[in-house]
Amino acid sequence: MNSTSVCGARRASRRVRLSRVAGVLLTFLAVQAFAADNPIPRPPGLERDVRFWVRVYTEVTTNGGFLHDDRNLGIVYETLTFAPNTSPRERQKIVDAARDRYAAALKRIATASGPLGPDDQRIKDLWGAEGTPSRLLEAANGIRFQLGQADRFREGLIRAGAWEAHIAEVFANRGLPNELAALPHVESSFNPSAYSKVGAAGLWQFMRSTGRRYMRIDASVDDRLDPFRSTEAAAQLLSYNYRLLGTWPLALTAYNHGAAGMRRAKEAMGTDDIEYIVRNYKSKTFGFASRNFYVSFLAALEIDRNPEKYFGSITPRPEVKFREVAVPSYVPIAALQRALDLDMETLRELNPALRPLVWKGQRHVPKGYRLRLPYDADQWTTELLAQRLAPTEQYAGQTVERRHRIAPGESLSSVAAKYGITTAALAELNGMSPTAKLRAGGMLVVPSAPAPTLAAAATSSPAARPAVEPEQPEGNVYIVRSGDSIYEIARKTGMKESEILRLNRLRNPNYIFEGQKLILAAAPSEPAQEASQPETPAAAASRPARRRSTRPVTQPKPIVVASAEVAEGVAPAEAQRESEEDAEAVEKVGESAEQAQPVSAAQAEALGPALGPAIEVPQTADPIDYSVAQDGTIVVVAEETLGHYAEWLGIRASRLRQVNNMKYGRPVLIGHKLKLDFSKVTPEQFEQTRREYHRALQASYFAAHRILGTEIYIVRRGDSLWTVTQRFARLPMWLLQQYNPDVDFSEMRAGTELLVPKVEELATDG
């Protein structure tokens, strides 16, 4: 070969090598670009888990299931199939017998020294290199049964057609990944009327406490059951989770496990890598359901994108189309049905958010409610509907509720007998189970009388009538009204301003707000106490957002305290009861989630509509960690005072000052650590009381307010937490902290970016 040929060969070889390098580089860049553009990643390390859930959703119906390892989902010991007429008890016996058989085999294999039988060898081969003796012994206690869901998933694919277009539009408008539209497959199998055992409801399975942040949920309307309203709420919650956690895998897992839980997991692991967290994070509440929520979603997404591959031809339901008309006043549903000339079944199908009491005629359709009508119906307007309704069919307000205070020893049946209704009717009126146990001192709604009709009411509209002034209690207590100031209160009561401030331990005369209770005389035997005194959770829960006095005053000095001076009041009975029920649901789920493994379709429906395992922690949007650290400290959050901590610990506030070397009068600061004294209560008891306080606080607020969206606020020079909340009406400190949990409010600097929720006050039926 001559030199020219050699040089040519070398150049050709160099071009080949450069071409290969360029190809590898382009492939790498393409993968990186795909990863950056793919908000819903599917990590290779989680593929075996995804494949397991694809099998659950497509291979086996609720007449069978998989016996598998609860950690390594690639290990499926056996597919069990039940005869359709097999009772749940018999199914459970079959599952238990199979579980015992495989547990014995794993122990036998782990300790075997000689050849194995065919069945044992098959099991050992399933484990491969991971099947060490210690791992097999561990696996003997981790055998789990997963009921098949193919029939339920197929039904969900058919139902989904009714709302897919709306979900896609809502998510696109909010800039959310379109993949998130598959989430209802996992949550409810696209069943808008689904209820779970722990109180979650609707297409997106909202708990009351979370749903009330974004929707109307009361005795007349439950928007969780409206696929359209609840979709808009789900988009808000998912956006909120993403803002807090930074990745969609974590945001989706938080939809199941809670924002606070996933923030804690991310912090503990030091990463937002979903695969690393799923494989390594250990927590009492981060169990099988939480570990598998994201991978089950990925499986549902794959099937949703390729339904024919798994189920053959599918004909989805047609898209739901409708018209809307705002109801002109409070109107019985029967009157609307007559005026609109529609059958009741059509109205009920189009308006699933209206509660049963409305359909039974015990409550009216609320004024302003956007009633859905068939798409081909006449184009009704509010004015035309008002003309078609008789004056006696239009009411100025909702039916007037009466309330019964529960006495010791009373039950639902005994209270129902007093008011001449059935136990079931009383339970439904209060949104509880007929077998629920009553707590002495609580309140029950009992049969009510109708409100006056518009014809009999005052000529002015309800909106035009002046608001009713709050009733002033007898004795030495004054409830602050809108427009009040310390000066005006002193003038009305004949007291000195300084005396009112002293009796109520107020350091700032301008720091009062509507609804606050002011003491006008000291109790004869009451000793002087510290400035920051605790409230009961019920009282603190109901206090309204801070408002400035309308009397011109000088700008008060900004303070950054955990709400040291707060208004008291009585929490609305419904909000208080619902917060208690949500708390009970959390406890029940925590006790039984890992044991709740249904073996039949009926049991699966009873536990809940989710196609995955029973959840460990009911959904919550509160990202704040209320737990006690191992060193006995907590981080102070909004709406907490030294007095609160002293009450919850059963000690004096002075003891906490001593433990923390705090001077008298110095407030606790949001975001700062505080050492606690657990000589009277356990950390677990303290945590429970603390959480119940915040649940009640939030339940009361969201009974009257709703979040519409968010906006960005840039902190200015001189701003504090207090001044920022004053810029936005009806915004409490704790809600601002929830939307900005990583901001140090005691050290806010000019230029800090805050995410501020836009809040509206709800029109209520009360």
Q: Which of 179, 187, 302, 616 is catalytic?
A: 187
Quick one: which of 88, 352, 365 has its CA closest to 228? 352
| Helix and strand numbers, DSSP H then E, in the chain | 31, 13
The predicted pLDDT at position 32 comes to 38
Q: What is the pLDDT of residues 89-121, one digit of tens each?
A: 999 999 999 999 999 999 999 999 889 999 999
**Calpha distance 639→38 (Å, rounded):** 40
- For 324, 564, 593, the CA distances from 627, given in Å and listed in that order, are 46, 21, 21
The predicted pLDDT at position 435 comes to 83
- For 66, 67, 435, 616, the CA distances from 597, given in Å and listed in that order, are 11, 11, 24, 12
Buried b (16+ CB within 10 A) or exposed e, 452-476: ebbeebeeeebeeeeeeeeeeeeee
Which of 454 and 192 is assigned the larger pLDDT? 192
Q: What is the pLDDT of residues 651-662, one digit of tens each?
A: 999 999 999 999
Q: How confident is the model at residue 198 (pLDDT cuts 50, 70, 90)?
A: confident
Question: Contact, 98 vs 186, CB < 8 A?
Answer: no
The predicted pLDDT at position 528 comes to 35
**Calpha distance 255→415 (Å, rounded):** 38
Question: Contact, 535 vs 571, CB < 8 A?
Answer: no
| 389-403, 536-550, 578-592, range with the lowest pLDDT | 536-550
335 pLDDT higher than 90: yes
Which of 612 and 10 is assigned the larger pLDDT? 612
| 326-340, 603-617, 727-741, range with the lowest pLDDT | 603-617
**Calpha distance 679→681 (Å, rounded):** 6
pTM of the model: 0.74
570 pLDDT higher than 70: no
187 is a catalytic site residue: yes
Question: Contact, 67 vs 95, CB < 8 A?
Answer: yes
Q: What is the pLDDT of residues 69-82, one digit of tens each?
A: 999 999 999 999 99
Contacts of 585 (CB under 8 A, 6+ apart): 198, 199, 207, 618
For 229, the enclosing helix (H) or strand (E) is helix 227-245
| SS3 state of residue 406 | coil
pLDDT averaged over the chain? 81
Structure tokens at 766: 């009360």
The predicted pLDDT at position 612 comes to 67
Structure tokens at 466: 């002046």
Q: What letter does residue 114 receive in the DSSP assignment?
A: S
Domain formed by 402-449, architecture:
Roll (3.10)
The amino acid present at 551, given as its one-letter code, is R
**Average pLDDT of span 484-506:** 78
**Calpha distance 178→186 (Å, rounded):** 16
Summarize the chain as % helix, strand, coil (round to 5). Answer: 45, 10, 45
**Average pLDDT of span 739-747:** 85
Q: What is the dihedral of CA 10, 13, 15, 20, to 10 degrees?
A: -160
The predicted pLDDT at position 181 comes to 97
Share of the chain above pLDDT 90, in %: 54
**Calpha distance 723→727 (Å, rounded):** 7
Q: Where are the domains of the chain?
A: 1-37, 63-147, 402-449
Buried b (16+ CB within 10 A) or exposed e, 558-574: ebbbbbbbbbbbebbbb
Most confident of 410-419, 497-506, 543-552: 410-419
Q: How confident is the model at residue 513 (pLDDT cuts 50, 70, 90)?
A: low
